[in-house]
Amino acid sequence: MNYQQTIGDMKPGKREREEAEEGRKGSAENTIDKIFKDDASEEKGERARMASFIGAMAIADLVKSTLGPKGMDKILQSTGRGHSVTVTNDGATILKSLHIDNPAAKVLVDISKVQDDEVGDGTTSVVVLAGELLREAEKLVTSKIHPMTIIAGYRMAAECARDALLKRVIDNKENAEKFRSDLMKIAMTTLCSKILSQDKEHFAEMAVDAVFRLKGSTNLEAIQIIKKPGGSLRDSFLDEGFILDKKIGIGQPKRIENAKILVANTAMDTDKVKIYGARVRVDSMTKVAEIEGAEKEKMKDKVNKILAHGINCFVNRQLIYNFPEELFADAGVLAIEHADFEGIERLGLVTGGEIASTFDNPESVKLGHCKLIEEIMIGEDKLIHFSGVEMGQACSIVLRGASHHVLDEAERSLHDALCVLSQTVNDSRVLLGGGWPEMVMAKEVDELARKTAGKKSHAIEAFSRALVAIPTTIADNAGLDSAELVAQLRAEHHNEGCNAGIDVISGAVGDMEERGIYEAFKVKQAVLLSATEAAEMILRVDEIITCAPRRREDRM
Amino acid sequence: MALAFDEFGRPFIILREQDQKTRLRGIDAQKANIAAGKAVARILRSSLGPKGMDKMLQGPDGDVTITNDGATILEQMDVDNQIAKLMVELSRSQDYEIGDGTTGVVVMAGALLEQAERQLDRGIHPIRVAEGYEMASRVAVEHLERISQKFEFDVDNFEPLVKTCMTTLSSKIVNRCKRSLAEIAVKAVLAVADLERRDVNLDLIKVEGKVGGNLEDTELIYGILVDKDMSHPQMPKQIEDAHIAILTCPFEPPKPKTKHKVDIDTVEKFETLRKQEQQYFDEMVQKCKDVGATLVICQWGFDDEANHLLMHRNLPAVRWVGGVELELIAIATGGRIVPRFQELTPEKLGKAGMVREKSFGTTKERMLYIEHCANSKAVTIFIRGGNKMMIEETKRSIHDALCVARNLIRNKSIVYGGGAAEIACSLAVDAAADKYPGVEQYAIRAFAEALDSVPMALAENSGLQPIETLSAVKSQQLKENIPFYGIDCNDVGTNDMREQNVFETLIGKQQQILLATQVVKMILKIDDVISNSEY
């Protein structure tokens, strides 16, 4: 989907384009011969560096205001048909939808996307941190420090910052109860910056329950999220069993106890003849009828074979035509058609049945079992609910909310929380939140800067300033006096083993452990490393060569 | 001059449509060509060496590449000028032949052109300049041979190889973990190398990348990695001691090539057809089972029915595996690619100690590892990294490192890097110049000067005083008569390249000089450029 940014007049890329235009005019005199194709352009040295700095910073500034628990949302309007609207404060979603011309900005969009895929959360932080690193680097470059020196300094600083975090991690893997409360806190911290912050305890509970059911697997596919408009967010619930968004065929039982389920992926319309070149040629009406009869017989055979499994529920991925449906109804079997592929896979997972496509040996096909199948109503829609399933791996979360936009955003937020939780289950190290990790890192990095000789120390110092920018932004977004708060925080952190962070709710510096604001170590580490990597990449560039855009037919 | 007259005084057109063509002749043509060549070299100049900068390239579809690999920059640059295209070719041929030094060769050619321009201004005929260059290059290549050293390593002691690969990687963005990447590259090359024949088939090393994780997670897999998963979600995710049937035929009823039709006109025929069809599937799966296969890898797809039959008979399968991968799997597992079910025999099965599926990150991405293969000749380097550009750049860097390791196995001679070899050659060429009596002498001296430009660029990129550093190193080499002194790019404190472990392969260096000289000669010989003017 193509979206266009509607807020403000910030169009990253425009400024740079103009600059590039000037650049081309300026450099036209000293290039003797034209080397590039007509529309291709080249930017060199300082100009190239500035263009990429500005592009990257523009992107960082764009998402900056969504950071933290009091961050604002953005409206994204699609330029495509329907002008559909998305309201979000998820960094990755915002950046994904922008049309960007500046190559350096694309690097940032890319890291945010990867952060989303890899850990799910921290998509805004990573971009903001990379932007701050570049902003600091720009200052250093203007004071005539070579980019390579800055990179060397950044690398040392990133290494040091990571070590600082590693020293302070809390790991409660042994203690199951504590670990669960850690997870709850992480989930609440993640959710508090999202639309779900009102009912964060409710949702955190749901997310933690769901993730615990996965038993260490990171396959979030097993958690099904069903969105049904209507009701309020508070009415959302986690269901132990499995909910399939389908209707039960007419004349079939609406409620089955001790169900034996056959999950299938087979054609239940007319079976195609798979032998190549086969065709039916008849010369009279009677023969047509005969063939039709044979076809029906074939279908009936198939249905009988399926029934021979001794089932009372049959779920198929493909369509079930009227005729076989009727046969199933006659046999008192509940037949569900056209369940989507994920639905089938999940159903196979929860009920422990295998997905079958041939039905010749019923004794060896594993059937799925569940205690009860019934039709339930959520809002106005009828859904099929499988409860008392054998394998508890999968589960369903039903989201209720006032509108589609709310539901979409709620799904994204919940997805973030689930991602973070499932990653934390595997890597159980946690940290405090609320700007605490940044301050801890900044302090260590600052100390390193003082110890380091040579020009690199300027870069290391700059790194620490960039880290402090994150709590500053969080405070700014909450409408607090950031300068005051950050200074206070810095003073607090001078003491060893301090737990101070910014408490946005009360608007003061507070003990993060008491407030229960926790973050996953894995997320923080990914933010730190990818932001440094991206900044390094952009810093290394001293020339931008833009190829002529490919001509498209529809432009003509 | 495109207009001539015949004996009757009528105009006689040699070149059609004068106004639509532009034409550059004589010294102007050479000047213009040299300018174009120089312009290309100037772009690459700042990418040379361990402290070289990167270039950001935006492709025609808006995709961004960040690299400092000379060949890649030039390839994606959208060049229009003919001479510039020649330079692109030059770097590409270095890439194909050697795989490394693609930036250096272009910088060298640029320097040669620059020097040639000066000689032309002096009034020396281009051909004489070209000939002088030719002689000089011969001297330089011979001198390289003389100063080269044998490089000792064997399978158990590959440390020297790792060091050389580290030199190559140090100029790339991946230099943060150059040590581990260099080790990976060397181990990979050694795994596939035929040390007897001194041959390395780089096709056996597959470089796969997947976005996510850290660069540190990059690993070497003694086996094959396939970006596919099991065809049925409920098939086992791990198979030990797999016997693999590698098939290029689909699980489908046979399709004769000749056009045919099966006409059905009675119910009986319909029934038999149905039976027949079922039998086909059954037979195919049975066939695989009979020969003892425990894993089926198929180039084609198969439909639900076949899929379930396979699943049912406990025969895991992978579908839609690409041709190249299929071949690699066949090589690695010692199996044969079987085009027809009838030809399936137990001997043709491939064997692997372990086949497993691994999933990554929060998205549903899975990959299939085939490890402990019967024939461990095929290896895979699996790169992880923060973003797509990083992975692409790492791939290119690894490729360079692989090529270097391969070249060293092919030919054990090395020369010292960091500009040391160039400086030594420059001294040798300068000394040789005096022996030639003709005008070529000037060209030979110019060649020596051009050789200096590589260390000069290195010093410049490293933030050193170029002229000062170069002259200091040069006099040191001359005084002590040791060709190991180069530019100290990393600010280590010594410019003895033996201590810094900066090596380059002899053939790589020789190739650089020869290729650059050839292209420059070609450019110098052009005295007429006719091109369609813009319309």
Per residue of chain B (535 residues), give pLDDT as tens. Answer: 456 777 777 776 666 655 566 677 778 888 888 888 888 888 888 888 777 888 888 888 778 888 888 888 888 877 778 888 888 888 888 888 887 788 889 999 999 999 999 999 988 999 999 999 999 999 999 999 988 888 777 777 788 788 878 877 877 777 778 888 888 888 888 888 877 777 788 878 888 888 766 777 888 888 888 888 787 767 777 888 888 888 887 777 766 666 677 777 777 777 787 777 778 778 888 888 888 888 888 888 777 777 777 877 788 888 888 888 888 888 888 888 888 877 888 888 888 888 888 876 555 567 888 888 777 677 888 888 767 777 888 888 888 888 888 888 888 888 888 888 999 999 999 999 888 888 889 999 999 999 998 899 888 888 788 899 899 888 988 888 888 888 887 777 777 888 877 778 888 889 899 999 999 999 898 888 877 655 4
B362 and B240 part of one domain: yes
Task: Assign a CATH topology to domain A173-241+392-427.
Answer: GROEL; domain 2 (3.30.260)
Can you give the CATH number for the domain in which B167 is found? 3.30.260.10
* pLDDT at residue number B364: 59
* pLDDT at residue number A20: 44
Phi/psi of residue A286, each to 5°? -60, -40
Q: Does A451 touch chain B (CB under 8 A)?
A: no
Closest residue of A to B51, CA-based?
A: A148
Query: What is the rounded average pLDDT for all residues in chain A?
Result: 79
CB contact under 8 A, B80 and A36: yes
Task: Assign a CATH topology to domain A45-170+500-546.
Answer: GROEL; domain 1 (1.10.560)
Distance CA B225, CA B213 (A): 17
B251 and B366 part of one domain: yes
B190 and B136 part of one domain: no
Q: How many CA atoms lie within 13 A of B440 on its CB side?
A: 17
Domain span including residue B389: 152-222+378-411
B15 falls within a domain: no
Residue A472 a catalytic site member: no
CA pseudo-torsion sign B366, B370, B372, B376: negative
Q: Is B56 in contact with A543 (CB distance < 8 Å)?
A: yes
CB contact under 8 A, A111 and B386: yes
Closest residue of B to A365, CA-based?
A: B312
Distance CA B409, CA A207 (A): 56
Q: How many CA atoms lie within 13 A of B426 on its CB side?
A: 26
B176 and B253 part of one domain: no
Which residues in chain A are closer than 8 Å to B80, comparing Cβ atoms?
A: 34-38, 40
pLDDT at A8 over 50: no
Those residues with Cβ within 8 angstroms of residue A456's Cβ, 6 or more apart along the chain or in another chain: A149, A152, A153, A156
B1 falls within a domain: no
pLDDT digits (tens, 9 = 90+) for A209-260: 888 877 766 667 677 788 888 888 888 888 777 777 777 766 677 787 887 8
Rounded to an integer, the average pLDDT of A391-411 is: 81
Boundary (domain end) residue, out of B375, B403, B433: B375
CA pseudo-torsion sign B239, B243, B249, B250: negative
- Give Cα B1 to chain centroid, integer Å: 46
Can you give the CATH number for the domain in which B50 is found? 1.10.560.10
Closest residue of A to B81, CA-based?
A: A35
B12 falls within a domain: no
Those residues with Cβ within 8 angstroms of residue A549's Cβ, 6 or more apart along the chain or in another chain: A39, B60, B61, B62
* pLDDT at residue number A186: 86
Rounded to an integer, the average pLDDT of A488-510 is: 84
CB contact under 8 A, B362 and A117: yes
Sheet with strand B503-505: strands edge to edge: B149-150, B413-416, B503-505
Which residue in the block uniquely carries the two structure tokens 């620059």? Answer: B114
pLDDT digits (tens, 9 = 90+) for A273-299: 666 666 777 777 787 787 778 778 877
CA dist B339 to B278, B281, B298, B323, Å? Answer: 21, 16, 10, 12
Q: Is A120 in contact with A423 (CB distance < 8 Å)?
A: yes
B263 and B212 part of one domain: no
Which residues in chain A are closer than 8 Å to B262, comparing Cβ atoms?
A: 275, 277-279
Top residue of B48, B78, B216 to mutate, by most chain A CBs within 10 Å, is B78
Higher pLDDT, B413 or A128: A128
pTM of the full predicted structure?
0.79
- Shortest distance, CA A447 to any CA of chain B (angstroms): 22
Phi/psi of residue B277, each to 5°? -60, -50
Q: Choose the weakest-confidence range: A423-432, A479-488, B105-114, B483-492.
A: B483-492
Distance CA A103, CA A56 (A): 9
Which of B122, B114, B167 has the alpha carbon at shortest distance from B419? B167
Distance CA B252, CA A138 (A): 62
Which residues in chain A are closer than 8 Å to B211, comparing Cβ atoms?
A: 114, 117
What are B194's strand-pairing partners? B199
Which residue in the block uniquely carries the two structure tokens 């110049």? Answer: B433
B232 and B370 part of one domain: yes
Distance CA A363, CA B22 (A): 84
Those residues with Cβ within 8 angstroms of residue B260's Cβ, 6 or more apart along the chain or in another chain: A277
User: What would the two tokens of residue B106 be?
Assistant: 């272009």
For domain A242-391, say whether CATH 1.10.10.10 is its number. Answer: no
B46 falls within a domain: yes
Distance CA A436, CA A438 (A): 5
Sheet with strand B205-211: strands edge to edge: B205-211, B379-385, B219-221
Q: Is B421 helix (H, G, I), strand (E, B) or coil?
A: helix
* pLDDT at residue number B449: 92
Confidence tier at A25 by pLDDT (50, 70, 90): very low
B358 and B243 part of one domain: yes
DSSP conformation letters of B34-103:
HHHHHHHHHHHHTT-STTPPEEEEE-TTS-EEEE--HHHHHHTS-B--HHHHHHHHHHHHHHHHTSS-HH
Which of B441, B431, B409, B423 has the alpha carbon at shortest distance from B497? B423
Q: Does A536 touch chain B (CB under 8 A)?
A: yes
Out of A182, A199, A416, A446, the active site residue is A416
Nearest CB to B64 within list A107, A293, A361: A107
Instruction: State the Rg of chain B over Cα.
Output: 30
Geometric angle at alpha carbon A233, from A228 and A239, rounded to 5°: 65
Which of B304, B249, B492, B357 has the alpha carbon at shortest distance from A271? B304
User: What would the two tokens of residue B78 be?
Assistant: 């959208």
Instruction: Quote the DSSP letter at residue A143.
Output: T
Amino acid making up residue B261:
K
Nearest CB to A275 within list B56, B62, B277: B277
B398 and B370 part of one domain: no
Distance CA B180, CA A72 (A): 43
- Give Cα A415 to chain centroid, integer Å: 6
Beta strands B365-373 and B262-264: pairing type? Answer: unpaired
DSSP conformation letters of B425-475:
HHHHHHHHHTT--STHHHHHHHHHHHHHHHHHHHHHHTTS-HHHHHHHHHH
Please count the other Cβ atoms lying within 10 Å of the Cβ belonging to residue B120: 17
Distance CA B69, CA B95 (A): 10
Phi/psi of residue A207, each to 5°? -65, -45
B390 and B311 part of one domain: no
How many structural domains compose chain B? 3
Nearest CB to B212 within list A114, A282, A533: A114
CB contact under 8 A, A534 and B259: no
Q: Is A347 in contact with A244 (CB distance < 8 Å)?
A: yes
Geometric angle at alpha carbon A294, from A291 and A295, rounded to 5°: 90
What are A261's strand-pairing partners? A313, A368
Beta strands A355-356 and B337-338: pairing type? Answer: unpaired
Residue A124 a catalytic site member: yes
B445 and B488 part of one domain: yes
CA pseudo-torsion sign A435, A436, A437, A441: positive
Domains of chain A: which residue ranges? 2-33, 45-170+500-546, 173-241+392-427, 242-391
- Shortest distance, CA B149 to any CA of chain A (angstroms): 32
Distance CA A466, CA A129 (A): 7
Nearest CB to B234 within list A147, A218, A355: A355
Which residue in the block uniquely carries the two structure tokens 């063939």? Answer: A291
User: What would the two tokens of residue A324 be?
Assistant: 């076989």
Boundary (domain end) residue, out of B375, B400, B430: B375
Q: Is A412 helix (H, G, I), strand (E, B) or coil?
A: helix
CB contact under 8 A, B58 and A546: yes
Distance CA B487, CA B497 (A): 8
Boundary (domain end) residue, out of B375, B395, B430: B375
B16 falls within a domain: no
Reported as type and span, the H/E element at residue A514 is helix A512-515
CB contact under 8 A, A117 and B363: yes
Q: Does A218 touch chain B (CB under 8 A)?
A: yes
Nearest CB to A291 within list B54, B267, B305: B267
Confidence tier at A133 by pLDDT (50, 70, 90): very high
B328 falls within a domain: yes
Beta strands A541-546 and B54-58: pairing type? Answer: parallel
Q: What percent of chain A has pLDDT over 90?
A: 8
User: What would the two tokens of residue A243 be?
Assistant: 């909910």
- Give Cα B5 to chain centroid, integer Å: 54
A553 by Cβ neighbours in 10 Å (0-12 / 13-18 / 19+) ranks as: exposed
Beta strands B295-298 and B205-211: pairing type? Answer: unpaired
B370 and B229 part of one domain: yes
B256 and B303 part of one domain: yes
Amino acid making up residue B446:
A
Q: Is B326 in contact with B337 (CB distance < 8 Å)?
A: yes
